[in-house]
Amino acid sequence: MGYHDEFYYKDSCLIGLLAGRGVGKTLTMSMLAHEELVTAVNEGYDDFKIYHNGFLDPKWKGWQIPGEKESRLVEYDFQEIIEGMMYGESKIQNGLMCIDEIASIQDSAYGPMGFGRVNFSHFIIMMRKIGLTILFAGQTEEIDKRLKMQTDIVGYPVVAKKMRGKEVGIKWVYQNENYTKPGKVRRIFYPNMHKFWGAYDTRKIIRSEQVNKSDVLNKKQEDIEDDIADIIQDIVKSEKTTSIPIFKIKQYMKKELNINWELKQLEASLKYYGKPLSKDKSVYDFRKNFG
């Protein structure tokens, strides 16, 4: 398809959206998938498809594309893809593959067949030969280093707390010289993101038969972490400071959520929103996300 005017999209590249929780990675990925598919349809690429791991909702009325939406929005099983690539029988080509929560794929080792990360790296190399671009979303701390090294374009989304789900700004870093000059940065602001709220359904993954108990527990923790973000925002607003002691957040959690996490568990979640001060590790600085 060549470069997209706004996104610098090009066939056979690897693009990552890396950020903490609650900044709209899935929403942004859904929006980009929509824009790429609409562009392909308008330019006459009738065989171009969007492949996704279950989070896109083909029933969304915003998919204004001809024919059956399921034929252009193809849900895939990642283990089948790996097997197909290994034996040269993959039917996936000429499209955009979207992978939400990519760390869950890395950590699962691709199911009972035991395919490891080396196979995923092989898949990344092979996909460049079949006209397939991968757009993935994940949290920075959980991304495999080899995957990060092979990524051509990395997007770092940020969003104001009060505008979550409505707008997002992304710093796109083009780090592969095959597509642009190394280190080139482009910042793009995406408004009116609420138009794409119905394009995805992350709960569908939770309802899948392949999801185990730990996945459900992780989803519950994500909900709690969203509540923690609200608590941090309330403290910042009421006390006019972005430096907050961890014990204060713990007190608010007990009072408002009736949750009494151990400090270690709370610290593991707070790293997505801020970082401890160098002089006092018990106080966190949330200026970057809540300032």
Q: What are the tens digits of pLDDT across the range 118-175?
A: 455 566 666 666 667 889 998 876 676 667 777 888 899 988 877 878 899 999 888 8
3 state DSSP class of 170? strand
Residues of the chain with CATH 3.40.50: 14-207
Whose tokens are 């509540």? That residue is 227
pLDDT digit string, tens, across residues 75-97: 887 666 666 555 555 667 778 88
pLDDT > 70? residue 259: yes
Residue 56: the pLDDT is 92
Tell me which architecture the domain covering 213-290 has in CATH: Orthogonal Bundle (1.10)
Regarding pTM above 0.75, the answer is no
Contacts of 37 (CB under 8 A, 6+ apart): 48, 50, 63, 65, 72, 73, 96
Confidence of residue 196 (pLDDT cuts 50, 70, 90): very high
Residue 118: the pLDDT is 46
Residues of the chain with CATH 1.10.10: 213-290
pLDDT digit string, tens, across residues 227-240: 888 899 889 989 99
> What's the fold here for domain 14-207?
Rossmann fold (3.40.50)
Exposed (0-12), middle (13-18) or buried (19+): which is 284, by Cβ within 10 Å? Answer: buried
Q: Where are the alpha helices (DSSP H) in 2-154?
A: 25-42, 69-72, 78-87, 102-108, 117-127, 145-150
47 near 23, Cβ under 8 Å?
no
Query: What rounded mean pLDDT belongs to the chain?
Result: 76
Average pLDDT over residues 60-73: 83
